Amino acid sequence: MTALTVPPGWSQDGLFADGVGAGLLRADLGPGVVAGFTTRHGGVSPAPWSSLNLGANTRDDGARVRENRSRLGAWLGAPVAFTSQVHGDGVLVLGQAERAEWLSDAPPVAAGEADAAVTAAVGFGLGVLVADCVPVLLADPAARVIGVAHAGRAGVRLGVVHRVVDAMVAAGAATEQLRAAVGPAVCGRCYEVPAAMRDDVAAVVPAAHGTTRAGTPSLDLPAAVLAQLAASGVHEVVHVGRCTLEDPDLFSHRRATAAGSLTGRQAGVILLT
Ligand SMILES: [Zn+2]
């Protein structure tokens, strides 16, 4: 494994390291907020999920996924709730009742069907699972409200980023105080799609219009999410800028599928402390 490239505004946390100091990219979203993105490293799953697979629907062994999630919770110092992601724009608002469930000896696999979640509960991590789609973390560190969103092609088109910002404002956040982190995802130079599909998404979010290195139509989902955050009034944004398909330290559904293989899921996680 090669050393990770850590972009400006990010730090690298070695707590998940396989002895080489790589494992988790941490984003500064303000005081009282812990936020970061996992990589493949630091878990117990064997190939093809090696090793920190956090996704339950990946045909990996459930006990290993629970152990990997437990390690993530240990790093964060709190349980991490995941939703069952359905490529929609629904937002779950989670509170103390859900926190108690996730703190129990038998935490749920998912909090419910939604592609975004919001909480104002202290000590309750929110997670979003990805392997090419865009993970988005949001915080208003003053109002003490956090959120996550899973933005793939469908979520970008539906505006899940706008929905989670709206839900955070409804929970007490102020748009001008929001800070966001956009994690690793497949880049616009790699995510080739049919021209009609590109045009369909770009008609809704023009920034999604992309072209691959080979000159064929693509979708630039990270650019689309950045544009949607800006349109929502979120201007303090850090972007990790790493491509899941190009980077062997990250899970990529598209890379695995092209190789006839399976893959795991990495996560974006956020917590109010
Ligand atoms: Zn790429």
pLDDT at 162 exceeding the cut of 90: yes
pLDDT score at 71: 86
Q: How far from chain centre, in Å, is Cα 141?
A: 19
Distance in Å, CA 242 to ligand 1 centroid: 8
Higher local confidence (pLDDT), 111 or 6? 111
Segment (H or E) for 98: helix 96-103
Average the pLDDT over 259-263 and give the result.
97
Over residues 103-144, the pLDDT tens digits come to: 998 999 999 999 999 999 999 999 999 999 999 999 999 999
Q: Can you give the residue ranges of every domain in the chain?
A: 15-272
pLDDT score at 27: 86
Distance in Å, CA 30 to ligand 1 centroid: 29
Average the pLDDT over 247-262 and give the result.
96
Q: Taking the model in full, what pTM does it have?
A: 0.93
Distance in Å, CA 207 to ligand 1 centroid: 16
Distance in Å, CA 40 to ligand 1 centroid: 17
Distance in Å, CA 191 to ligand 1 centroid: 7
Over residues 181-214, the pLDDT tens digits come to: 999 999 999 999 999 999 999 999 999 999 999 9
Distance in Å, CA 5 to ligand 1 centroid: 15
Distance in Å, CA 213 to ligand 1 centroid: 9
Distance in Å, CA 240 to ligand 1 centroid: 13
Residue with tokens 């990997």: 68
At the top level of CATH, the class of 15-272 is: alpha beta
pLDDT score at 23: 67
pLDDT score at 174: 98
Average the pLDDT over 250-261 and give the result.
97
Distance in Å, CA 243 to ligand 1 centroid: 5
Please report, rounded to a whole number, the percentage of residues in the chain having pLDDT higher than 70. 92
pLDDT score at 252: 98
Coil, strand, or helix at residue 264? coil
pLDDT score at 45: 94
* End-to-end Cα spacing for the chain: 32
CB proximity list for 244: less than 8 A, separation 6 or greater: 130, 131, 132, 184, 185, 186, 250, 251, 252, 254, 255
Average pLDDT, the chain: 91
